[in-house]
Chains A and B, each alone.
Chain A
Amino acid sequence: MASKAQRVPLGLRLTTSLFIIVWLILAAFPFFWTLWGSFKVELDFFSIADWTNALFGPRTQETYGSPFTGAGYYGAWVQEDFWRAAINTFIVCFFVVCTSLTIGTLGGYALSRSGFRYTFWLLIIALIFRAMPPITLVAGYMLPFFEWNVWGILPTTIIVLVAINQPFTLWMLHSFFQNIPKELDESAKVDGCTQFQAFRHVIVPVMWPGVITTGLFSFLLAYNDFAVTSMLLSESNRTMIPEIAAFLGTTYTEGNVMFAVAAVVSATAPLFILVMFFQRQIVSGLTAGAVKG
């Protein structure tokens, strides 16, 4: 029960509400504005005459007979083959998440169950690797990849992204496994299981919450990456984010900015859905490192 002392005075409550509303507008309005504008023609979305044009779309009405048009989407997805980039993104994300979770789970589990001093140093090294900006590593990949003729293809990029992902995955899963009581797999080992069998039959069934949270962040890393994918993929293998960056170069000159706007909205949609369904996991993942450390 809220006592009298805890009751919030009206003035303060108003200020807080106002502040929250302002923040919500700042955080969400740009996305809705762009979503709305992506169904307009360029002269409406970027209107010199009157900003309300972007809301009601008089020029879109003039051109297409309706205030909404899918022309930007048609241009991006069909004319400019954005679907290819979407498929590439899907392939990259899928394999990055699967591979990095598989090897990360094994490594994270081992780190949490081995009491030796070197586990600490391995974690420290992982922390240092986590801090490296990925772009600084790219100069090191270029020469060998050209020499071996593996530059530009998806598998190379997937392996690189998996490796860049590992330090973070290890830290997350390490702290997650530490919260699973050691007695569980110890008792399985007493019953005659090998370490791997104990892991397989005792730990795997209970590890999914942690693995899903970690997987979400692996997915975000692969999906949001720009520096590595734009440098390591050839033009025909580009994923969505470098493809959008490439659009910008060409569309400003051709006057097809709306293609890029439509592509941007298309690439944001999966993230929206992801946050909607996995909000709890994302929040817990973000705080996992912080509250403990």
Chain B
Amino acid sequence: MKHRTFFWFFLPTGLAMLLFIAAPIVSVVIQSLFTPHEAVFRTVESCTPFTCVQETIIDQEATRALREEAPLGRFAGLDIYFDRGHLAVNEVALIWRASNTWAEFFNRLGNLPFYRAMAFTLTYTFTVTPLLIVLGLMIALAVNSLHRHLKGLVIFFSLLPMIVTPLIGSLILFWMIDSRGIIGSAIQWMANDPGLSLKASTGLTWIMLIVYGVWHSAPFAFVVFYAGLQTLPKDQLEAAQIDGATRWQQVRYVVIPHIMPLVTFVALIQLMDNFRVFEPIVGFNAEAHATSLSWIIFNDLGGETRQLSAAAATSVMTIIGVAILLSPVLVRTWRDFKGKH
């Protein structure tokens, strides 16, 4: 294809991505370096017949003029990144000096919003991903051994947790684990503690979110692994059987090596997707116990005071996090490309 033809074919989609993905990224980076204008104050003297009082009032007009003139705000450099809501450098230094043990240090670090969110995001990402791979593989192996008439039905129901909107899925589970819902009361009955509420404790909330995450993403792993199992080389399995391999040995030494590339694929995709965990926190109403980077951005952007600069700084740090998780994928794609050419 000629360069010219390619250009015209690619123009609409390229333009869409340039204007609405590339430009916003640049805009977010710039925004994160600026902080909103402070209100302009003016001192006026108001006199009553007896005394004169000096008063400081907000000069509405001058403030508005300033905001019109430079809507981005004033340049702050990296200040926003280091403030209390983000990396909190000063606070971390203080805590470091004041704490005697590592446990104390981490404990206090957990009170700073950014580190609190980071702790949950990383815990979630690195527990959900391996768990969902294991569960997905187990489902795939089990479904593969089913009669073929049943397979379609089982796949249909297995897809549901993944296809359903994350917010809706988490709400449905949230209502069930409510202390008056069916799972909630079942757990109370099992623990023999009528006052038990999953929502009240941080540990239980984290477990709940992780269970939701596995429930939501396991179907993806299942479908990918199931497709991989369909291409399993029959002769290798037969050879293993003739050599007297047990069923477990067949799985361990034939099946798993065969689908290992798919495991890597699912792991890489899911690491990136779980890192952006956000909807379940809203759905489970869990922000008191667990926050994530995406949730902080959402929280800063919403409401009456739209803190664009704060949200932008968190966005940039989230993008950096995603970039770190993405780099193995890029290296892999690059190697594939090199191999082909």
Contact = CB atoms under 8 A, between A and B. Distances in A.
Contacts of A128: 323, 326, 330
Interface in B1-40: 1-3, 5-6, 9-10, 12-14, 16-17, 19-28, 31
B13 A114 contact: no
A78 interface: no
Interface in A213-238: 220, 223-224, 226-227, 230-231
Interface stretch (B45-53, B56-64, B97-105, B169-177): B169-177
Nearest to B306: A142
Contacts of B326: 127-128, 131
Contacts of B316: 136
A65 interface: no
Interface string A261-293: 100100110011011100100110011011101
B143 interface: yes
Contact of B154 (A24, A30, A166, A195): A24
B182 A33 contact: yes
B163 A271 contact: yes
Given A135-B297, A286-B223, A271 B27 contact: no
Given A143-B71, A226-B279, A23 B312 contact: no
B288 interface: no
A159 B163 contact: no
A175 interface: no
Interface in A1-55: 5-6, 8, 12-13, 16, 19-20, 23-24, 26-28, 30-31, 33-34, 37, 45-48, 51, 54
Contacts of B72: 143
Do most interface residues of chain B lie in helix, strand or loop, or is the interface mixed?
Answer: helix
A132 interface: yes
Contacts of B175: 34, 37, 45-46, 257, 261
A16 B163 contact: no
Given A12-B247, A231-B302, A287-B227, A170 B333 contact: no
Nearest to B282: A245
A231 B301 contact: yes
B16 A227 contact: no
A162 interface: yes
A5, A110, A245, most chain B CB atoms within 10 A? A110
B13 A103 contact: yes
B113 interface: no
B305 interface: no
Interface in A119-160: 120, 122, 124-129, 131-133, 135-144, 147, 159-160
Contact of A51 (B1, B185, B325): B185
A113 interface: yes
B330 A127 contact: yes
B156 A276 contact: yes
Interface residues of A, number: 101
Contact of B168 (A24, A27, A241, A279): A241
Contacts of B6: 110, 114, 116
Contacts of A48: 180
Interface string B123-164: 000000000000000110111011000001011111111011
A144 B72 CA distance: 10
A231 B315 CA distance: 15
B165 interface: yes
A38 B24 CA distance: 41
Given A33-B182, A139-B311, A132 B160 contact: no
B293 to A, nearest CB: 8
Nearest to B28: A140
11 contacts: A26-B215, A124-B333, A133-B276, A133-B322, A140-B24, A162-B16, A163-B21, A231-B302, A268-B168, A275-B156, A291-B231
Given A23-B142, A23-B158, A271-B165, 16 more contacts: A6-B241, A19-B138, A20-B139, A26-B215, A129-B21, A137-B28, A143-B27, A164-B21, A220-B163, A224-B166, A227-B279, A244-B171, A272-B160, A279-B152, A286-B227, A287-B223
